[in-house]
Structure 1
Amino acid sequence: MIGLKPLFTALLATMFLATLPDLSWSTEQAQQRRAGRDVKQDTRQGARSTKQACRAANNKSNAACRQDKRQTKQSGRQTARDLKY
């Protein structure tokens, strides 16, 4: 029975050390997701500003202004994807 305790301790330590790279990967992945959310949130505000400026200029129809807003949001989504993956 005495010989099993050091073996169990070594096994437990090995299992703990094996999970350390996973913990750092999880942290990195969380930071990437957070950065992606920040980019998308900034993009939403930029898209609103784009549409408001388009409407204020009165050069385009409402549908064309909506399309500009969609394109702005789509480019923000792509930027967020590039950060995450």
Structure 2
Amino acid sequence: MKKSVLMLLTVSTLMTAIPVQATQQATERRDARDIRQDTRQDSRQAKQDCRQGVFGNADCRQDHRENKQDGRDAARDVKY
């Protein structure tokens, strides 16, 4: 009898802990996705501004890549 009560208590505890963890992970994923989306928009705008300047297209592409990579790194920091 005691063993079944203990198992029931353990199962109910685990069932309440799993949704909290899943919700936290979903929030972290959403935050990371938002950072990446904002980075993409900022990077596109920076690339357009660069193309209108005196820089070559290769320099603009490199800046665009670096901006996106920085955004990915920031998203990883939030997520992990």
Aligned residues: 79
Deviation string 1:18-68 (CA, Å, 9 cap, x unpaired) is: 2222221111011000000000001100110010010111x2110110000
Identify the residue that residue 78 of structure 1 maps to in structure 2.
73
Matching residue within 20, 23, 26 for 1:27: 23
Percent of aligned pairs sharing the same letter: 45
The unaligned stretches of length 5 or more in structure 1 are: none
**Alignment RMSD, CA only?**
1.8
Distance 1:70 1:14 in 2: 49
Distance 2:30 2:49 in 1: 29
Structure 1 position 13, deviation (Å)? 4.5
Distance 1:80 1:14 in 2: 35
The unaligned stretches of length 5 or more in structure 2 are: none
Distance 2:14 2:32 in 1: 29
TM-score, normalised to structure 2, is: 0.86
Q: How do 1:54-65 residues align onto structure 2 when only pairs under 5 Å count? A: 54-57=50-53, 59-65=54-60
